[in-house]
Amino acid sequence: MEEIKKIAKELLAENKVQLIVGFEKGSANKVRPAFFTKPEEIDQLIYNEYCIHNIALYLKKDICQKANNLAIIANPNVVRSILQLASENQIAEEKIKIIGISFEGKCVGLLDFKAAEEFSKTQPKGIKPEDKALIEKIQAMPLEERFNYWVEAFSPCIKCYACRASCPMCYCGKCNVETNNPQWIPVAPHKYGNLEWHMMRAMHLAGRCINCGECNRSCPVNIPLNILSYMLSDFILDEFDSEAGMNAVFTPALSVYTSVDKENFIK
Ligand code: SF4
Ligand code: SF4
Give the Å distance between the CA of 173 and the centre of ligand 2: 19
CB 198 within 8 A of CB 227: no
Please give the number of the atom of ligand 1 that sits closest to the Cα of 77.
4
φ, ψ for residue 7 (rounded to 5)?
-60, -45
Distance (Å, whole) CA 236 – CA 228: 12
At 20, is the secondary structure helix, strand, or coil?
strand
Whole-number Å distance between alpha carbons of 104 and 123: 11
Expressed in angstroms and rounded, the spacing between residue 244 Cα and the centre of ligand 2 is: 23
Over residues 101-158, the pLDDT tens digits come to 998 889 999 999 999 999 988 877 767 888 889 999 999 999 999 999 999 999 999 9
pLDDT tens sequence across 53-86: 999 999 999 999 999 999 999 999 999 999 999 9
Cα distance between residue 240 and residue 150, in whole Å: 24
For the CA of 226, the nearest atom of ligand 1: 1
Domain extent listing, the chain: 2-120, 129-255
Indicate the pLDDT class of residue 265, thresholds 50, 70 and 90: low
Q: Is 214 in the pocket of ligand 1 (CB under 6 A)?
A: yes
Say what the pLDDT of residue 29 is.
Answer: 82
Q: Would the CB of 229 count as within 6 Å of ligand 1?
A: yes
